[in-house]
Copies of this chain bind each other. A is one copy, B any other.
Amino acid sequence: MSKAQFTREKILQKSAALFNRQGYAGSSMSDIMQVTGLKKGGIYNHFKSKDELALEAFDYIVGKINQRYSDALKGKRHALDRLRAIIQVFRVYIDEDDFLLKGGCPVLNTAVESDDTHPALRQRVQAVMNSWRHLIHRFIDKGIERRQIRPDVDADTVATIMISSLEGAVMMSKLYGDPVHMQRAIAHLDQYVQTLAVQG
């Protein structure tokens, strides 16, 4: 990695964590200078504007989360195991002290901040949300094909229920600083996923 690439990566990492805690509107250029330890010019060398940095920092942090999905899904072949693996990824918000994700789920945070104010960011969040929904959809379709999941299960509905419960629970656990809400949502969804199984 060249020095320029190294600096670029550091700016992305530090500002992604900052945006995830304080929001985009709540993070000033001087906050960004402080967390990166760079002068304004050093940041503008790599990103044309705070807006461009916001978009790229969002992609960066989502890339890290998607890597967690890939890792969690490795070797999982059964549809129910795959759905459970996705659910378990959300433990990161209560079990780990990940510098990047201290502010909670960036998809939730950015959705809430951007939906009425920032069309370009909102579009990025929609794209990530689409990719998560399609992943769940695909696992369910495969599961129906392999007779692991009941043929009457509606994949879109399952995706909405799983994602909304998990994201809502991140919000509640973060609000109280208490893992119990995430734990309850995970236990509930594990049971819910079981009800999708073909009875055998």
Contacts and interface: CB of A to CB of B under 8 A. Distances in A.
Contact of A172 (B25, B163, B181): B163
A160 interface: yes
Contact of A126 (B109, B122, B176): B176
Interface string A150-162: 0000001100110
A170 B23 CA distance: 19
Q: Is the interface of A mostly helix, strand, loop or mixed?
A: helix
B23 A171 contact: no
A113 interface: yes
Interface of A: 21-23, 25-26, 102-104, 108-109, 111-113, 115-117, 122, 125-126, 129, 156-157, 160-161, 163-169, 171-172, 174-176, 180-181, 184-185, 187-188
Nearest to A172: B164
Most buried by B among A26, A168, A176, A187: A168
Given A160-B180, A184-B157, A188-B157, A22 B175 contact: no
Given A122-B175, A171-B108, A172-B129, A113 B184 contact: no
Contacts of A157: 184, 187-188
A157 to B, nearest CB: 5
